[in-house]
Amino acid sequence: MPFALLLAAMVTKQPALLGVTSYVPWTPDSLRVKQVEEQVTALRSSVICAFNQLLDLKDLNTGVHSTRLAEWGMRVGQELGLEQSELQNLEVAALLHDIGKVGIPDAILRKPGRLDSGEYAQMKRHPEYGWAVLRMLPGFERAALDILHHHENVDGKGYPAGLQGSEIPIVSRIVTVIDAFDAMVSSRPYRVGLPHQEAIRRLVESSGTQFDSAVVQCFISFAQAEMATVFAAAGTSVSSAL
């Protein structure tokens, strides 16, 4: 289309001339809405970054693993057909699901070896702490609920509510798999992480009891192919994790 004709179409707001049928001309109101949407998106990203830094300060991030696992979680969500709003909540929940651990004493977080029953009971409160913090932020209420349920098991033996199967929000079911996988493969001062193939075997073994089978299948289908590269980049290759 000649530029002059294009310009005329824009000035006179004639969508047909622009070759689009659903063209909606900008108005002061729609521009304002767009600006507010951009501000909300920027604020959302800032909050995620700020909380992520808090996790770093408490040494609760596993570096490249966390980010990559969050990306894989998003891809699982897309494959499973989650709506855009759910995917946004999934991004928050995947990155910040363990934010409540900042409320757990270091003596428990960093205890070498097994926790006793009292310590384990305290540790199990971290989803609740995360929910309590994030629900106070406008726009994060739903992600806060997803975080609250990220340690539920599909057989109802998880915590804090003992929800079963589809009672557990789908975002939480995805994060459960990511979180468990991350925990299995990450090295701690007192133990080395499992090789990723063994972690995958355990995910499959607990499909239908601890984990949602569809989520595990979907996660494995693409994560497995990229795993060796990611782990090598993170400095915890398969051989060093053995």
- Please give the Cα distance from 57 to 51 (Å, whole number): 10
Residue closer to Fe ion, measured from CB, 44 or 125: 125
Give the side-chain half-sphere CA count within 13 A for 89.
Answer: 27
CA geometry: angle 211, 154, 115, nearest 5 deg: 70
Residue closer to Fe ion, measured from CB, 127 or 195: 127
Cα torsion for 226, 229, 233, 238, to the nearest 10°? 100
Residue closer to Fe ion, measured from CB, 178 or 218: 178
59-67, 71-79, 93-101, 139-147 -> range binding Fe ion (CB under 5 A):
93-101
Q: CB 102 → Fe ion: shortest distance, Å?
A: 12
187-225 core/surface letters (b: 16 or more CB in 10 A; e: else): eeeeeebbbbeebbebbeebbeebbbeebbebbbeebee
- Please give the Cα distance from 75 to 88 (Å, whole number): 12
152 in contact with Fe ion (CB under 5 A): no
Q: CB 179 → Fe ion: shortest distance, Å?
A: 5
Residue closer to Fe ion, measured from CB, 9 or 94: 94
65-73, 94-102, 154-162, 229-237 -> range binding Fe ion (CB under 5 A):
94-102
Q: CB 13 → Fe ion: shortest distance, Å?
A: 52
Q: CB 110 → Fe ion: shortest distance, Å?
A: 16
> Is 172 within 8 Å of 178 (Cβ atoms)?
no
Instruction: Name the residue whose CB lies closest to Fe ion.
Output: 98
Residue closer to Fe ion, measured from CB, 60 or 80: 60
Beta partners for residue 188, in sequence order:
191
- Please give the Cα distance from 196 to 204 (Å, whole number): 12
Residue of 98, 145, 106, 146 lying closest to 124 (CA atoms): 98
Q: CB 123 → Fe ion: shortest distance, Å?
A: 9
From 98, 146, 182, 212, residue interacting with Fe ion (rule: CB under 5 A) = 98
33-41, 91-99, 157-165, 169-177 -> range binding Fe ion (CB under 5 A):
91-99
Q: CB 85 → Fe ion: shortest distance, Å?
A: 23
Residue closer to Fe ion, measured from CB, 98 or 146: 98
Positions in 159-218 near Fe ion (CB under 5 A): 179
- Please give the Cα distance from 194 to 71 (Å, whole number): 21
Residue closer to Fe ion, measured from CB, 91 or 98: 98
Residue of 167, 194, 198, 169 lying closest to 183 (CA atoms): 194
> Where do contacts with Fe ion occur on this chain (CB under 5 A)?
98, 179
